[in-house]
Amino acid sequence: MSITVVKYGGHAMSAGSSFAQDVAALVKAGQKVVVVHGGGPQISAMLDRVGLTSEFRNGLRVTTPEVMQIARMVLLSVGKDLVGSLARAGAKAVSLSGEDGGLITARRVPQDIGLVGDVASIDPSLIHTLADNGYVPVVSTLAPDAEGVPHNLNADIAAGGLAIALRANKLVMITDVPGLYRNWPDASSLIEKITAQELEELLPSLEKGMVPKMEACLRAVRAGVPSAAIGTSLHAHGTVVLP
Ligand SMILES: Nc1ncnc2c1ncn2[C@@H]1O[C@H](COP(=O)(O)OP(=O)(O)O)[C@@H](O)[C@H]1O
Ligand SMILES: CC(=O)N[C@@H](CCC(=O)OP(=O)(O)O)C(=O)O
C-alpha cells in the first residue's frame, strides 16, 4: 500500500484549511498517510509571550536551551491539536515525536546555532506499526542526539528524511504559498515542474523558509522518493520536484 508523507507547515496551519478532511478522505480511500507538522510561527508567538527572542539563520531557528523548552512544549501541543482535528474529520491519529520508540536520532548541524539537529538516522518501525493498523501518525520534529539530548529539527528536513526512510510514494509540503517561485515574489514566476538537477542550481538563490523546504525535496527525490510537491493543500500542488 502506498505511503504519502505530508508536511503541514505552521503558516498553512494558521491560515486554516481542509487539511484534516483531506487526510481523512485519503485514509478512507485506502492510503497510508504520515503527517509531519511544523509550528514555527506558533513557537515564535509563544517565545514573544514569555519575553524570549530567537532568530533564524538560513531558515533554521537558533535554539538555546531556553528556546528549546518552549519549542518542545509548543510542538507537542500542536501535534495533539492536530490529532483532535483529524479525529473530528473521522481519522484515527496518534501524535508522537522523534523521541518516541527510537523514531529519529538527531545529529547537531555544523552551524553554531544551538540545539538544532539534522536527521542522523530513522527507525520507521513504529510508524509502520501505526499506519498498518489504520492510524495516522502525526510527527513532531524533536529528536535526541546520540547522547540523548533533545534537538529541534526543521520540520521540512525531518519530513524529507521520513519520506526516504518510509520509502514513501510521495512527499507533499503544504505551506502558505502555491509553490516555488523562481523570482520570489514575482507571481508570474511559479515553477510548475523542476528536476533535481535544476533545483540544485536554484538552491543558492533561495531564501528563508524555502531553503530547508527545497533542500528536503531535493534530498527526497535523489534518495528514491518518486516526487515531491509544494502547494497549499493535499490537492493543490503548484510545484512538483521530479528526479
Ligand atoms: N522562492 C520562493 N518561492 C515561494 N516562497 C518563498 C520563496 N522565497 C521565500 N518564500 C517564502 O517562504 C514562505 C514559506 O516558507 P515557510 O515560512 O518556512 O513556511 P512553512 O511554515 O509552511 O514551512 C512563503 O510564505 C514565502 O514568504
Ligand atoms: C530548527 C528549526 O528551525 N525548527 C523549527 C521547527 C518548526 C518548523 O519547522 O515549523 P514550520 O514548518 O512551520 O516552519 C522552528 O523552531 O521553527
**Domain edges within the chain:** 3-242
Residue 238's CB is within 10 A of a number of other CB atoms, namely 17
Tens digits of residue pLDDT in 84-118: 999 999 999 999 999 999 999 999 999 999 999 99
pLDDT at 79: 98
**Which residues share a beta bridge with 136?**
93
Q: Please, which pLDDT band fits residue 186 given cuts at 50, 70 and 90?
A: very high
CA of 13, closest atom in ligand 2: 13
Pocket test for ligand 1, best of 6, 7, 11 (most atoms within 8 A of CB): 11
Was domain 3-242 assigned CATH 3.30.559.10? no
pLDDT at 184: 92
Helical (H) or strand (E) element with 14: helix 10-15
pLDDT at 38: 97
Report which of 208, 239, 225 is spatially closest to residue 4, judged by C-alpha positions. 225
Burial (CB count within 10 angstroms: exposed 0-12, middle 13-18, buried 19+), residue 48: exposed
What is the rounded distance in angstroms from the CA atom of residue 125 to the CA atom of residue 94?
A: 15
pLDDT of residue 237 exceeding 80, the answer is: yes
- Ligand 1 midpoint to CA 177 (Å): 7
CA of 116, closest atom in ligand 2: 1
**Buried b or exposed e, range 2-41, using 16+ CB within 10 angstroms:** ebbbbbbbbbbbeeebebbbbbbbbbeeebbbbbbbbbbe
Mean pLDDT of the chain: 96
> What number is the average pLDDT over the span 64-89?
98
Cα–Cα separations (whole angstroms), residue 170 to 7, 179, 186? 11, 16, 28
pLDDT at 1: 66
| Cis previous bond, 185, omega within 30 | yes
- For 169, the 3-state DSSP assignment is coil
Q: Please, which pLDDT band fits residue 209 given cuts at 50, 70 and 90?
A: confident
